Every structure is written in structure tokens, then in C-alpha cells.
Amino acid sequence: MFKLVILIESLADRQPFDAQWPEFLHLTEGMPGLRREATSLVERILYGQGNFMQVHELFFDTLSEAEQAMVSPQGQAAGRLLQQMTGGRITLFFAEHKEDELANILSYRQADDKPG
């Protein structure tokens, strides 16, 4: 699975951004190949140079589908709106996404604890 990650920098005035967020979501949710999306509001930066207020992730089965979604009419409109909403204060990147369930992780821990 691949995702398009959007890091949104902190804005001096969030109100215009928040007012346009539902329209942005509507556009992204119409992108072809989209499997799911996730939004995280940043509570605190613990380390690093970033000054981000929000992270938005769009999940696709393949990198090719993610790329095609970005050039679709919905993707292009979402990109234009996002630029307008943030004044370009964003970082976008593709990432291969992998995750594991806690039960599976714990099974490996238990296997390591068994005498060999």
C-alpha cells in the first residue's frame, strides 16, 4: 500500500483553512483509487525543525494509482485548493505504507522469550 502524505505547516490564522477543509476533503474523497484517508492534528512537536499543525494521509493500493489520482481532475482541484488554503506552506511526499497488528507483534515477543 502507498500513501500520499501531506504535512501542513502551522498557520497564523487557521479560520480560513478550517472553513475550506470540508471542500478539500470532498475533492480528495473523489480521487480515483483512494482506499482510505486519515487526518492527524499535531499536538506537540517533540523534536525536529518542522512546525506542522496537521498531517493528512491518502492511501492507495499502488504508487501508480496514487500518482494517477494526483493528476485526476479531483486531484488537480484538491491541489489548487490546498495551495490556496495554506499559502504553499505544505510538504507532500509518497511513502510505502506497512503496518502490523499488536497481536502479531506480541507473538514474536513471546517466541523470543521461549528458551531455545
**CA-CA-CA-CA dihedral for 41, 66, 20, 6, to nearest 10:** 30
The C-alpha atoms of residue 56 and residue 17 are separated, in whole angstroms, by 14
Cell 483512494 maps to which residue? 34
Q: What is the Cβ-side half-sphere exposure of residue 11, based on CA atoms within 13 angstroms? A: 19
pLDDT digits (tens, 9 = 90+) for 12-47: 999 999 999 999 999 999 999 999 999 999 999 999
Q: How far is CA 74 from CA 23, 69, 95, 97, 101, in A?
A: 11, 8, 21, 23, 33
CATH of range 2-113; options 3.30.1330.10, 3.30.1490.20, 3.30.70.100, 2.40.50.100? 3.30.70.100
Judge contact between 45 and 51, C-beta under 8 A: yes
114 confidence band (pLDDT: 50, 70, 90): low
State mean pLDDT over 75-89.
97
| Mean pLDDT (the chain, rounded) | 93
